[in-house]
Structure 1
Amino acid sequence: MDAVERTNQEHQRRWIKDKKVGEGTYAVVYQGREAATGRKIAIKKIKLGEFKDGLDMSAVREVKYLSELRHPNIIELLDVFSAKKNLNLVLEFLDTDLEMVIKDRSLVFLPADIKSWMAMTFRGLEFCHRNCILHRDLKPNNLLLASDGQLKLADFGLARDFADPGYKMTCQVITRWYRPPELLFGARYYSTAVDIWSVGCIFAELMLRTPYLPGESDMDQLKTIFRALGTPTEEDWPGHTKLPDYVPVGQFPRLPLRDLFTAATADALNLLQSCFHYEPCRRISAHDALSHPYFFALPNPTHPSKLPKTGTQLAAAAQTTARPLEEVDANVTGKKRKLRADGDEDGVTLTRNIARKLDFRAAVGS
């Protein structure tokens, strides 16, 4: 037995599989525990030897990006080991996702709850984009929820870096209901805007408690988008008719978002619309979203520990008074005003500070 194999077995002995909790096309997920401490963990077993060329790259990417991305709103990779032609990813244990919460009709969402989930989503995504990584599969069941209420981006199997803007990428990414129109039209060069469209769909779903743009095929997905948001013109989206898979889909009028999202505030609608610009370069960035007035207007975001929880927390618990953002960090809004007064144009340092504060860690336990 060589040194590499011995090291691998040492890693393997640290973790104990208890029961299978999920299975997909490429992987099986087990609940387990750390042998020494009993701490709950998840083990994602990827059966590398059974698949065609190309699928192994998903596993490699997931390990690569999760190893690089250490952040409170991104799932933590604890260890990696191989066994019997399987690659095993040891992850922190999170047994609830945002889709489960959305579908649980016993739970009532307050506007402050939605604001908190959106803040944490943008915060995790901003960190990915700042580190030149596209997620490319954001949807409610890839947003996992920790026991303390923290939301964490998960499933980086389709992620990739975008350091080279001239490099072709596949358009066959992002689950259809959350896929932006440029990918449906076959775009091979794209940016962080594809993830922002997905976040807009998640934002809408949180408000509606049902998927916003559920198409049955790629063509039907385009029709569903255009029925909801209007058929784009050359003025709305210059050059879209030149995309590789462009086909005319029909003419649909632009309907005000207010007609459907009747309870949303003006700030919420503005942020939602900023995610849904047809021209990708006009969509808001995750960086700028964290400074959007939506996050600084009342009601303040709910403290993560007080967010609705599936099965263990009824709708009455969701009525807990939201902890004011100023109590979490009294300087955030002051810093924002000072930035404008000082004329700091880029806002990079400020937005990262705001991003850090929006996880409310300073108030945990209060």
Structure 2
Amino acid sequence: MEQPLPKSWSIHTRPEVIAKYEILERVGSGAYSDVYRARRLSDNLIVALKEVHDYQSAFREIEALQMLHNCPNIVVLHEYFWREDEDAVLVLEFLRTDLAAVIRDAKKKEGGIRVGEIKRWMLQILCGVDACHRNMIVHRDLKPGNLLVSDDGVLKLADFGQARILMEPGFDGDDDNHQLPVEQNTGYQENVTPPLDVVADAHSLPDQGFNKQVVEDTNREEYLRQLVELKAKRHAVDETDKETNINDGYSSCLATGTISDIDDDPLKSSYSYDAEEGGDGRNGALTSCVGTRWFRAPELLYGSTDYGLEVDLWSLGCIFSELLTLEPLFPGISDIDQLGRIINVLGNLTEEVWPSCCKLPDYKTISFAKIENPTGLEACLPNKSADEISIVKRLVCYNPASRATTMELLNDKYFDEEPLPLPVTELHVPLTKNNHDEDSPGGWHDYDDMGSDSDFGDFGHFKVENTGSGFSMQFS
């Protein structure tokens, strides 16, 4: 009796892959994936081959990218290979730099990033996230390192390994029992239901500012109507105790950080551990252990498993703030420190600012001393215009239902006023992604240390008190 072939852990042994691609070099490696630069033999196109070692992550990324395959601001999935007992290999377009490199490079130049450039980067990000949200896809790991940039200045969302497709806010829209084809898939687009119409890509709009008419009025009105309904449903869920909203057993302060051993991954994952969701039949529960700490919404830090698209909106606010100041808005060194930094700026999280916050799983477990005079976001954005501050404030707020949607921001007057968004061709694109200084303290090359590590000691003094249902911790 013939012995079955051993499972392949190396892309170099995959005959279906090497028959079509010449693997040039490994450019990134992490806990759940390895990324290679390769050449397609049929036409010499340079691509990225992403070998994903985690089934669930691979499934989510393929499913999301299939739904978004015609969006100009989403990284292109050319094809994928997935056989029984093999890791998935995703063939993606190769983009050599990202928004993190744009920010790093700008810090070296006098004057930073011009306002017209900032507006064009923002518009492209908003168009990409809007396409996700129109299809009820929550990315859950938006950060500058996952916003890839082409040589000609086109920005594209990447790394959908933590993405989820939602039916309703806070509820899982996919089924972990779904099966993708295990045979090589080279023509997936014809088998995919076309996604909803998306906003025209920002880089294709007229150079004289953002054209509000790029979306037909009927589509825009219908979209806004749906958003209002979803917000109303979200509010109704917040006001109702749900037996299905059970904590998945992983605290919001679970240790999740894993460090990449190569810092030049064009499709770098956050490598945060994503606990298995709904594994015990609780299909409505999501995990709070997603994303990268600096861009993680407060509801996730407090352990929420019932959240929606709004967690991406918080991340957008942090990214926009960093584009404006070239510094991270909340660079926490632990989950508790992250919460503390947010509270020092926005003030204490109370039912006055978010009526349903008391229902967050860890809200009564973790508390902070009262902040009498929070610094406010204005102090974090010195010398910025009222409109720029307003954009960030509409995203970085406690109550998820109060955060501005991508469509609302795309229609904001900020993008119609002077200075107008620059054409994509005039954007400054760094020559390489790996251009940070070796002697520079901190910075984006330490980015992978921003996982969740629950290092309470890093935050300072805290007091533990016994309660009727367990304990609580107060941080000063």
TM-score, structure 1 normalization? 0.78
Q: Distance in 1 between matches of 2:425 and 2:360?
A: 45
SS of residue paired to 1:103: helix
Q: Which has the higher helix share?
A: 1
Partner of 1:233: 350
Partner of 2:138: 134
Q: Distance in 1 between matches of 2:96 and 2:406?
A: 26
Contact 1:111 1:299 in 2 (8 A): yes
Partner of 1:32: 38
Partner of 1:249: 368
- Per-residue CA deviations over 1:246-296 (Å, capped at 9, x if unaligned) read 121222233343323123221111111000121000100111111112111
Contact 1:11 1:79 in 2 (8 A): no
Q: Distance in 1 between matches of 2:22 and 2:369?
A: 55
Contact 1:142 1:154 in 2 (8 A): yes
SS of residue paired to 1:221: helix
Tell me: CA distance 1:37–1:265, structure 2 relative to 1, closer, same or farther (3 Å): same
- Per-residue CA deviations over 1:126-166 (Å, capped at 9, x if unaligned) read 01000010000000100000111011000000000111344
- Code of the aligned partner of 1:185: Y
* Residue 88 (str. 1) matches residue 89 (str. 2): yes
Q: Distance in 2 between matches of 1:275 and 1:289?
A: 10
Q: Distance in 1 between matches of 2:428 and 2:348?
A: 37
Tell me: CA distance 1:10–1:85, structure 2 relative to 1, closer, same or farther (3 Å): closer
Partner of 1:222: 339
Partner of 1:212: 329
Partner of 2:76: 76
Partner of 2:308: 191
Q: Distance in 1 between matches of 2:136 and 2:416?
A: 27
Q: Distance in 1 between matches of 2:41 and 2:375?
A: 57
User: Which stretch shifts more, 112-121 or 75-84?
Assistant: 75-84
TM-score, structure 2 normalization? 0.60
Contact 1:223 1:250 in 2 (8 A): no
Partner of 1:269: 389
Contact 2:332 2:341 in 1 (8 A): yes
Partner of 2:59: 60
- Code of the aligned partner of 1:240: C
Partner of 1:361: none
Q: Distance in 2 between matches of 1:102 and 1:262?
A: 17
Q: Select the structure with the greater relative contact order (CA < 8 A; seq sep ≥ 6).
A: 2
State how 1:205-354 maps to structure 2 within 5 Å: 205-246=322-363, 247-252=366-371, 253-311=373-431
- Code of the aligned partner of 2:60: R
User: Which stretch shifts more, 176-185 or 261-270?
Assistant: 261-270
- Code of the aligned partner of 1:80: Y
- Per-residue CA deviations over 1:53-111 (Å, capped at 9, x if unaligned) read xx310111111111111211000000111478232110001010111111123343101
Q: Which runs of 5+ in 1 are unaligned?
A: 1-7, 48-54, 313-366
- Code of the aligned partner of 2:20: R
Q: Which runs of 5+ in 2 are unaligned?
A: 1-13, 172-283, 433-476
Partner of 1:122: 126
Contact 1:145 1:152 in 2 (8 A): yes
SS of residue paired to 2:367: coil
Name the count of aligned residue pairs.
298
Q: Distance in 2 between matches of 1:259 and 1:181?
A: 20
Contact 1:192 1:285 in 2 (8 A): no
- Code of the aligned partner of 1:97: D
Q: Distance in 1 between matches of 2:56 and 2:118?
A: 35
- Code of the aligned partner of 2:66: S
Contact 2:55 2:87 in 1 (8 A): no
Contact 2:118 2:323 in 1 (8 A): yes
Report how far residue 10 of structure 1 moved.
5.4
- Per-residue CA deviations over 1:34-62 (Å, capped at 9, x if unaligned) read 10111111111123xxxxxxx31011111
SS of residue paired to 2:51: strand
Contact 1:20 1:28 in 2 (8 A): yes
Partner of 2:290: 173
